[in-house]
């Protein structure tokens, strides 16, 4: 069995081969840790923080600990975020079906509008330095 390629097929094969080795380069990241709290100072005790770089479109995420602190990662769990301005969201998923008794106090619920970049109103700036500390403050009600 013999396979024949037309001139266009060879060109397409060449382009695909060239692109296969040209993956996007990783954007430099800088360490970011922080705190999520309500406007009355109480920590958000569970959930996830996510920052989306306005310039690069990359996202950095981190799990919120019971004291409201988090550490962000883009390519690894703790490598940080790209430098520059970011939009931020706080996502919290607590399932309460009334049948399960929870043994952990999850704290106050995060208002759902903080889980969407278009409605959260949260922003953060990451500097190209060895340590970035940010605080995200949530209002109880949408402004």
- List domains and CATH numbers for the chain: 27-138 (2.60.40.1120)
pTM for the predicted model, two decimal places:
0.77
pLDDT in tens, 19-45: 555 556 899 999 999 999 999 999 999
Q: Which uninterrupted H or E stretch holds 126?
A: strand 122-126
pLDDT in tens, 57-107: 999 999 999 999 999 999 999 999 999 999 999 999 866 666 555 566 678
SS3 label, residue 9: helix
Q: Phi and psi dihedrals of 141, rounded to 5?
A: -125, 150
Query: What's the CA angle centered on 61, arms 57 and 63, to 5 degrees?
Result: 165
Residues 94, 107: Cα–Cα separation, whole Å: 10
Q: Higher model confidence: residue 143 or residue 62? A: 62
Q: Tokens 């952990």: give the residue.
A: 104
Q: Is the pLDDT of residue 108 over 50?
A: yes
């Amino acid at each position: 069995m013999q396979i024949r390629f037309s001139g266009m097929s060879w060109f397409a094969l060449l382009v695909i081969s060239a692109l296969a080795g040209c993956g996007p380069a990783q954007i430099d990241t800088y360490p970011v840790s922080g705190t999520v709290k309500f406007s009355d100072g109480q920590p958000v005790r569970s959930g996830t923080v996510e920052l989306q770089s306005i310039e690069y479109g990359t996202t950095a995420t981190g799990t919120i600990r019971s004291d409201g602190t988090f550490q962000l990662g883009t390519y690894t769990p703790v490598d940080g975020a790209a430098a520059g301005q970011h939009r931020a969201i706080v996502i919290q998923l607590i399932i309460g079906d009334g049948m399960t008794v929870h043994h952990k106090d999850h704290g106050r619920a995060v208002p759902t509008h903080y889980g969407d970049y278009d409605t959260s109103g949260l922003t953060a700036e990451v500097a190209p330095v060895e340590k970035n500390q940010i605080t995200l403050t949530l209002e109880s009600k949408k402004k």
